[in-house]
Structure 1
Amino acid sequence: MSTLKVGLIGAGGISRVHADAWRALGAEGFVTSLEGADEIAAEYGFTEVADVDTLIDRVDVVDIVTPSSTHADFALRAIARGRHVVCEKPLAPTAADAAAVARAADAAGVRLFPAHVVRYMGEYRKIKETIDAGRIGTVAVQRFSRAGSAPLTPWFFRESTGGGVVRDLMIHDIDQAMWFAGPVAQVFAVQNPPTVDDRVPAPVTSHVVLTHRSGVISHIHGSWVAAGMPFRTSVEVAGSAGRVRYDSAEDLSLRTDAVAAPGSPDYLPPMSPQESPYYAEIADFVTAIAEGRDALVTPRDGIDAVAVAEAAYASIAAGAPVSLTAEAEEDPR
């Protein structure tokens, strides 16, 4: 079997965890970027390439880790030349653009993998398993929180080019909420302070309320806070028979409060996975290609997350809830 050739477009902070995963999987790596490609090449043993088109021609898989506004364009260029695509979240700035990328991949017979890494974090996977096993009964309400220092790169603060606290930070928990409770029927969102003239303020906080078609209500909080503040994330899912919760700032454990089966010990699994979730994510994508199966995250998941984020911005602008319509079954998965 020939060595998998992977091309990394972008050399920002997130590129390193992707590069590390590809290196651990034994892939031959190539990298191009407007700046920083030489550092990635030296650090991870990749070959620096002069431009995007040259890189696409030399690889089997293109991994896009660039600013959000460029994701759809780079993905479509790679797909048009028959390359599989891994794309950091969000898949595109709008749901229409994300769906166009997914349709192009389907028509070209190549694979598209939106990189929603939180699905590969051990704590969240155990919550999903707990819900699916019925340990907390029928889910009623979910609460998510994610907060950390505001990013430094200017594009993050322009909503028109794919930035913004909802689309960049909170989209992780938007995806988790739908993974746990299914599709969304209605979105209501607020942000304080408001975005003015396409400039997102910092510090900034947003709260998004999702009403799922299943009837579950999800509360999602996100904040970009002052520089130097530690990152914190938490999740709690409550059902008719108990709840499951995790908070990164507490005792570093996932805990389920539910009625135990006779003779069972208290349910307290360890928090930390044995491997990097980024490695688990990339490994799943590679195996999905080899086995011709779906990955844990599908193109449909990537589209849906963008659609909910887009609806959240529309709700903030209107000061009112925004309804989402069910997608046709033939749309990309």
Structure 2
Amino acid sequence: MQGLASLGFALVGCGRIARRHADLLAGGAVEGARLVAVCDTDVARARAFGERYNVPHFASADEMLERIGPSIDVLSILTPSGSHAALTIALAPHGKHIVVEKPMALTLTDADAMIRACDVAGVKLFVVKQNRFNRPVVKLREAFDAGRFGKLVMGTVRVRWRRDQSYYDQDGWRGTWAEDGGVFANQASHHVDLLEWFLGEPETVYAQARTALVDIETEDTGVAIVRFASGALGVIEATTAARPDNLEGSLSILGEKGTVEIAGFAVNEIRSWRFSDPQPDDASVMDTARSNPPDVYGFGHAHYLRNVVECIHHGGKALVDGLEGRKSLELISAIYESIFSGQEVRMRFRPTHSLLGRR
């Protein structure tokens, strides 16, 4: 980025995930980017964030744009999932590029409106899927793109995390249909994205879910079976009812010529790397990621934000833009439609039973 102006990032929302973004942007971990402001409707929370990172704080995005708009290049929307769409649509006309945390929205109608709003405004829309940048996932993608798996057979993701009642009680929106969704829409959304990224276009899905250990509207435990256009099958196992601690966040890809499993609790550690046509560097791949990240967010946010900067400065295509982010949302929406209807759902459906995103 030498010779190019540093991009000013402003955070909309100062909740749990915002600290991850702020630490990276204010700490110099993202070359070509800097944190310039934060805002939150909870004024005390905004003030605490601003003081922590030594940047101006505001009670709303509108006030922030009015006061320091020229210094802002990118708005990072880090609010509860149910507000992503309304904020993106309202803020896109200001001409700032937009980064939105997962999931980009809770309904496909909202996602489509977000994409249109950014297209009309001529700004880029980036959907955060940081696990695509984890080193083991990058190595897996290289092997996949090189055709080393041959015919795909099956893919599996397992999210076995701990979220107790105190987690859901922190904020009123957690575990609600209108603002959050359950484990599939929230915690497992990155893993659903990875499964679809490797296995391709889904055709049908059948899912079941329950609320096992906490008092919330939505599910804390579920399973889904997905049939892909390639003929491969996908299995999604997701729960926040692991006790007493987080257990794993894993991805397995099985093909006629190879099998790879990435485990750890944030898809961060290669557990198995086996191919029928060994390559010289296969022996060293198992050592590419051996340490656990500090939390379930993994290591990928810094790499993701660097990709954002690169795309804005050089006009390239984002790894996960609005259209790419919509793909996993469609599969998640189909999972919920199946849960509520009790039926297998064929993609390109119109939701009629699901409560996700309903107010």
Runs of 4+ in 1 over 3 A off after TM superposition: 193-198, 249-254, 260-267, 272-276
- Equivalenced residue count is 324
Identity rate, percent: 26
C-alpha spacing 1:54/1:131, structure 2 compared with 1 (3 Å)? same
- Residue 226 of structure 1 and its aligned partner are, at CA, apart by 5.5
C-alpha spacing 1:225/1:125, structure 2 compared with 1 (3 Å)? same
- Residue 34 of structure 1 and its aligned partner are, at CA, apart by 2.6
Within a 5 Å distance, the mapping from 1:100-139 to structure 2 comes to 100-139=113-152
Within a 5 Å distance, the mapping from 1:88-237 to structure 2 comes to 88-150=101-163, 151-152=167-168, 153-193=171-211, 199-200=217-218, 204-225=220-241, 228-237=244-253
- Residue 124 of structure 1 and its aligned partner are, at CA, apart by 1.7
Report the 3-state secondary structure (helix = DSSP H, G, I; strand = E; otherwise coil) of the residue aligned with 1:270: coil
| Residue pair 2:47, 2:58 contacting (<8 A) in 1 also | no
Report the 3-state secondary structure (helix = DSSP H, G, I; strand = E; otherwise coil) of the residue aligned with 1:53: helix
Partner of 1:38: 47
Alignment equivalent of 1:255, drawn from 262, 268, 272: 272
Partner of 1:329: none
User: Unaligned 5+ residue runs, structure 1?
Assistant: 327-333
Deviation readout 1:273-311 (Å, 9 max, x if unpaired): 999311111111111111111111121121111111111
- Residue 206 of structure 1 and its aligned partner are, at CA, apart by 0.6
CA distance in 2, matches of 1:162, 1:264: 42
CA distance in 1, matches of 2:102, 2:18: 13
Partner of 2:324: 301
Partner of 1:18: 21
CA distance in 2, matches of 1:160, 1:73: 13
User: Unaligned 5+ residue runs, structure 2?
Assistant: 350-359
- Residue 155 of structure 1 and its aligned partner are, at CA, apart by 1.8
CA distance in 2, matches of 1:125, 1:263: 18
Partner of 2:96: 83
Report the 3-state secondary structure (helix = DSSP H, G, I; strand = E; otherwise coil) of the residue aligned with 1:27: strand
| Residue pair 1:148, 1:224 contacting (<8 A) in 2 also | yes
CA distance in 2, matches of 1:196, 1:43: 33
C-alpha spacing 1:270/1:195, structure 2 compared with 1 (3 Å)? closer
- Residue 246 of structure 1 and its aligned partner are, at CA, apart by 1.6
- Residue 166 of structure 1 and its aligned partner are, at CA, apart by 1.0
Segment drifting more, 243-252 vs 83-92: 243-252
Amino acid at match of 2:230: S
Alignment equivalent of 1:317, drawn from 340, 345, 349: 340
Amino acid at match of 1:148: W
C-alpha spacing 1:213/1:27, structure 2 compared with 1 (3 Å)? same
- Residue 227 of structure 1 and its aligned partner are, at CA, apart by 6.5
| Residue pair 1:113, 1:295 contacting (<8 A) in 2 also | yes
Report the 3-state secondary structure (helix = DSSP H, G, I; strand = E; otherwise coil) of the residue aligned with 2:320: coil
CA distance in 2, matches of 1:28, 1:198: 35
Amino acid at match of 2:314: E
CA distance in 2, matches of 1:65, 1:322: 31
| Residue pair 1:254, 1:270 contacting (<8 A) in 2 also | no
Amino acid at match of 2:299: S
Partner of 1:330: none
CA distance in 1, matches of 2:14, 2:281: 49
C-alpha spacing 1:315/1:27, structure 2 compared with 1 (3 Å)? same
| Residue pair 2:268, 2:289 contacting (<8 A) in 1 also | no
| Residue pair 1:254, 1:271 contacting (<8 A) in 2 also | no
Alignment equivalent of 1:238, drawn from 225, 249, 254: 254
C-alpha spacing 1:106/1:257, structure 2 compared with 1 (3 Å)? same
Deviation readout 1:160-209 (Å, 9 max, x if unpaired): 333211111121111111111112111111102489998125xx311122
CA RMSD of aligned residues (A): 2.7
CA distance in 2, matches of 1:40, 1:319: 44
1:27 aligns with 2:50: no
